[in-house]
Structure 1
Amino acid sequence: MESVSILLLLCFLLVQALAGASGVVIGLRRRRDATQRRFGGGADRVACDIFTGSWVRDDTYPLYQSLNCPVIDAQFNCQLYGRPDSDYLRYRWRPAGCELPRFDGLDFLRRMRGKTVMFVGDSLGRNQWQSLICMLGAASPLSPTQFIRGDPLSAYKFLDYGVSISFYRAPYLVDVGVVEGRRILMLNYISGNGNAWRTADVLCFNSGHWWDYMGDGGGYYMDMDRLVAFQKAMNTWANWVDINLDTSKTKVFFQSISPTHYNPMEWNSSTTKNCFGEIAPISGSIYLGSYPDQMPILKGVIKAMRSPTYLLDITTLSQLRKDCHPSIYSGDLNPEQRANPDRSADCSHWCLPGLPDTWNQLFYTALFF
């Protein structure tokens, strides 16, 4: 009987050892593909794909009010510009296999004390940048702040913590040049822009919208395939990161492609012509529309990088939020445009408060958990 007990104990210890070794391998692999996090403590830690799940009603949301956050651009300030409904603010993202940590702005500021978070990219990056400022401001309403608005670099500083939340406007990440009076994309070059990026402790990049006239290694093309151009530019960006950043000191993220909602057939609607009038998310976790063509390219580029780069994969969960766009409730539209939602509705950016707050909850989770 005693020998049986010893044998069982040895088997148990062997299983535990194998599980521990497996956990190390899985952790390293998942850091590379950047789709899963581990929650809990000790033996209770479980893996979770935080980007697969569904939206659930939660009346403790939103995390802030637009009137209390003066940095929100008119383009994103839907409540201020007359949006009549507010239920779209009261949804929380729930991954299929776990619960996300609730965003804690004070915890974020304490962990990032003395550091800089920089968003680099286009107006979708600006959307996320302003969201994070609002979320942190709501958690520390008495903390003195400083806002420096510039072009291409703007910074919002929480002075008690020495934390800077910055945005660097670089819609294409690669350089933009001028040839014969026309602006072109220099797909093989990142020069002056990158000097500012090197100073950040956390970088979150994004890109996705392209001009018609592009440059590649000295040649200029009116009709270059957009996906070929995207891949060239992303390879240029990836090489820049690999060569110029010390990722033991700088954490690198890339926000995946933010979707648009201009085609109601993608959510099986016959009553609307775009996102105008949509007031609730799509239920479940499946979106009927197509997956952005840029995504396989982006995933392939990140997978091939030497530098650990986390893909903040917000694409599918954002596709489910046809209700979160400014539509006609944007300060950038005049009365005539607001009266014609079929032509004027903005179904590519996002209201604040709104969906980018969830992007930042996922960003917070990926940074610290």
Structure 2
Amino acid sequence: MCLLSTISKPELVFQDSDEQKFRRWVFYEYNATVSVFWSPFLVNGTENDYSKGIRHNTLYLDTPNEKWATELDKIDVVVFSCGHWFVQRAIYYGEGNQLLGCNSVQEVNCTNFNFLDAFRKVLRIALKEVTKRHFKLEKNVVVATFPSAHFEGEWDKFGACPKTEPYKEGDTEMPHLENDMRKLAIEEVAMAVKDVKEMNGGLKIEALDVTKLALLRPDGHPGPYLFPNPFANGMKERVLNDCLHWCLPGPIDTWNALLLELMKRWNDA
């Protein structure tokens, strides 16, 4: 949105009244609409809320979140971007609200259910939902792969996000989590593409593979500067670091440039 608004002024036409996690802008000059849907799991469920004593997520892995699913008919390009929330504590339910298992929830008597399996089921159900509705149409779906975090030590210890320059090739190795999440997304995209081809559909589905690009940018996070002037009263041993989210200049610019190239390629095909 920051980049697009340098070319054309958007008008905010909708936002939910509570947490403003769902928003829609219109660029009238170009007859274009951009919508943001907060759905970190893509499926129905409830998020943890420590203020209310809810210390885990509850997910229904077979039911796409209606917030975005009911809007699919109005969307020409869908970008799915999720992953990090799946490593959190969670209880999983499947078809018919059947308990499938838990991830690190000791308070509930249930078997362990790997969060990677949950992530795979969610991506598969999301892509099947789009395919079911749009396989005949010239619409486009992008799945962004898992970007890396770069914490070094404890998240609230000074120096946990210290890098000021990108890594060079060979300076670091892909961690298992990032590699597994990326591989999983690539596999599910390939399966969805195969399904569309077998149905002779016009829907285009591609992965936006940003995992390695993100891995090489440990300098691209807010770090201790998540909030202004963290050291105004002197240096601290403990400080809130954000080495998970990303600053717009740099990495996000690159991902947007790749997304633009995908869209231009579709247009030229």
The whole-number CA distance in structure 1 between the counterparts of 2:183 and 2:252 is 23
The whole-number CA distance in structure 1 between the counterparts of 2:230 and 2:160 is 19
Indicate which of 50, 53, 61 corresponds to 1:187.
Answer: 61
Structure 1 position 159 matched with structure 2 position 34: no
The whole-number CA distance in structure 1 between the counterparts of 2:70 and 2:233 is 40
Give the ranges of 4+ consecutive aligned residues of structure 1 lying more than 4 Å apart after TM superposition.
332-343
Partner of residue 138, structure 2: 249
Indicate which of 147, 158, 169 corresponds to 1:284.
Answer: 169
Secondary structure of the residue aligned to 1:288 is coil
Partner of residue 58, structure 1: none
Paired AA for residue 81 in structure 2: N
Partner of residue 13, structure 1: none
Partner of residue 79, structure 2: 204
**Number of aligned residues:** 224
The whole-number CA distance in structure 2 between the counterparts of 1:316 and 1:348 is 15
- The answer to whether the Cα contact below 8 Å between 1:328 and 1:338 also exists between their aligned partners in 2 is no
Structure 1 position 357 matched with structure 2 position 253: yes
| 1:52-82 C-alpha deviation (Å, 9 max, x unpaired) | xxxxxxxxxxxxxxxxxxxxxxxxxxxxxxx
Structure 1: runs of 5 or more not aligned:
1-132, 265-271
The whole-number CA distance in structure 2 between the counterparts of 1:203 and 1:247 is 15
Shift of 1:160: 1.4
The whole-number CA distance in structure 1 between the counterparts of 2:32 and 2:75 is 11
Secondary structure of the residue aligned to 2:71 is helix
Structure 1 position 304 matched with structure 2 position 169: no
| 1:282-310 C-alpha deviation (Å, 9 max, x unpaired) | 12376324251212211111111124311
| 1:57-114 C-alpha deviation (Å, 9 max, x unpaired) | xxxxxxxxxxxxxxxxxxxxxxxxxxxxxxxxxxxxxxxxxxxxxxxxxxxxxxxxxx
Paired AA for residue 184 in structure 1: T
User: Taking structure 1 as reference, are residues 227 and 158 closer, same or farther at Cα in structure 2, changes over 3 Å only?
Assistant: same
Structure 1 position 275 matched with structure 2 position 161: yes
Mapping of residues 131-170 of structure 1, within 5 Å = 133-140=1-8, 143=9, 145-147=10-12, 148-150=14-16, 151-170=20-39
Indicate which of 91, 101, 107 corresponds to 1:221.
Answer: 101
- The answer to whether the Cα contact below 8 Å between 2:116 and 2:181 also exists between their aligned partners in 1 is yes
Over the matched positions of the two proteins, sequence identity in percent amounts to: 22
Asked which structure has the greater RCO (Cα within 8 Å, sep 6+), the reply is: 1
Structure 2: runs of 5 or more not aligned:
48-53, 104-112, 197-203
- The answer to whether the Cα contact below 8 Å between 1:188 and 1:233 also exists between their aligned partners in 2 is yes
Secondary structure of the residue aligned to 2:226 is coil
Further displaced range: 313-322 or 284-293: 284-293
- The answer to whether the Cα contact below 8 Å between 1:258 and 1:314 also exists between their aligned partners in 2 is yes
Which structure has the larger Rg over C-alpha atoms?
A: 1
Further displaced range: 356-365 or 332-341: 332-341
The whole-number CA distance in structure 1 between the counterparts of 2:127 and 2:233 is 40
Shift of 1:183: 4.7
The whole-number CA distance in structure 1 between the counterparts of 2:119 and 2:135 is 25
- The answer to whether the Cα contact below 8 Å between 1:153 and 1:167 also exists between their aligned partners in 2 is yes
Partner of residue 75, structure 1: none
CA RMSD of aligned residues (A): 2.9
Tell me the TM-score normalised to structure 2 length.
Answer: 0.73
Secondary structure of the residue aligned to 1:187 is strand
The whole-number CA distance in structure 2 between the counterparts of 1:346 and 1:201 is 33
| 1:216-266 C-alpha deviation (Å, 9 max, x unpaired) | 3221533321112112222222221221224633210011101100138xx
Paired AA for residue 275 in structure 1: C
